[in-house]
Amino acid sequence: MRFTSEQRLDDGVHERAFTLGGIPGILWTPASVPAPAPLILLGHPPLGLRGMYPRLVDRARRSAAEGFATATIELPGSGDRPRLPAVERARAGLRRVREAGEPVTDELVDALVLPLVDQAVPEWRAALDALLSLPEIGGPVGYSGGVISLGVRLAVVEPRIVAAGLFAGSFVPRALFEEARRVTVPLHVLLQWDDEGNDRQAALDLFDAFGSEEKTLHANMGGHTGVPRFAGDAVTEFFIRHVK
């Protein structure tokens, strides 16, 4: 892990860009860290860190105000990373079926999501190794938002993640429903009820499938990108309860 740039934001949050095995990432730590800070991994959609930066830094600042460090890395095939040809073909296929008004098949969902998750999971775990080796970062670790299938897989395979805040805003391969049954950490799931690009019933079925004893679903209005401010605050409250 190599830091490539750093800055202090106006609220004192320390932002450092890094690279790890060629993958770019960003780490935010609170203005004052008397003890090693608990860490929240910030998930995001596969649209590139640069474009997602404003929303990520907003989440980082709100988390830092509660004493959390946050970090994220670029997803496979996004930003400046090499494209994943199979996923690109699946995205073109998705555009075609949507324009034709046809249903999105299970095969297409698998092709869109599984290669991304398969490659991303070991990368996020390697990032976790590196981040937890820093003296200013302690544990425990939470995972928040982004591609929900990545969050589910990480919650199953990564024992250092003690709580997950998931955003039910993207396609979920059938295989992930089986993995969901093996999730046991506390979960906080956001669902935008009027998210037209999302399959609401699939999101509810996935919530039902989770094996966690404590799981909470927050459904709100505002469309895919219109998560209300108070719903974001509730995610922070969830992490305060579980990742401190």
Q: Given the complex with its own copies, which of 84 and 189 has the nearer CB atom?
A: 189
Could you tell me the smallest distance in angstroms from the CB atom of residue 204 to its own copies? 7
Q: Which residues contact 85 (CB under 8 A, 6 or more apart)?
A: none
Amino acid making up residue 241: R
Q: Are 150 and 43 in contact (CB under 8 A)?
A: yes
Burial of 79 (0-12, 13-18, 19+ CB in 10 A): middle
Per-residue burial over 106-119, b = 16 or more CB atoms within 10 Å of its CB, e = otherwise: eebbbbbbbbbbee
DSSP, collapsed to helix, strand or coil, labels residue 229 as helix
Distance (Å) of CA 80 to CA 48, 73, 136: 8, 12, 28
* Least distance to its own copies, CB of residue 31, Å: 26
Q: How far is the CB of 224 from its own copies (least distance, A)?
A: 17
Smaller CB separation from its own copies, 19 or 220:
220
Closest CB to its own copies among residues 110, 214: 214
The site for its own copies (CB under 8 A) is made up of 193, 204, 207-208, 213-221, 228, 230-231, 234, 237, 241
Separation of alpha carbons 15 and 79, rounded Å: 19
Task: Give the residue with the Cβ less far from its own copies, 14 or 188.
Answer: 188
CA atoms within 13 A on the CB side of 42: 28
Least Å distance, CB 192 to its own copies, is 11
Minimum Å distance from CB 215 to its own copies? 6
Q: What is the maximal distance between C-alpha atoms in the chain?
A: 57
Nearer to its own copies, 124 or 207 (CB): 207
- In the complex, what is the shortest distance from the CB of residue 71 to its own copies, in angstroms, rounded to a whole number? 26
The smaller minimum CB distance to its own copies, of residues 2 and 229, is found at 229
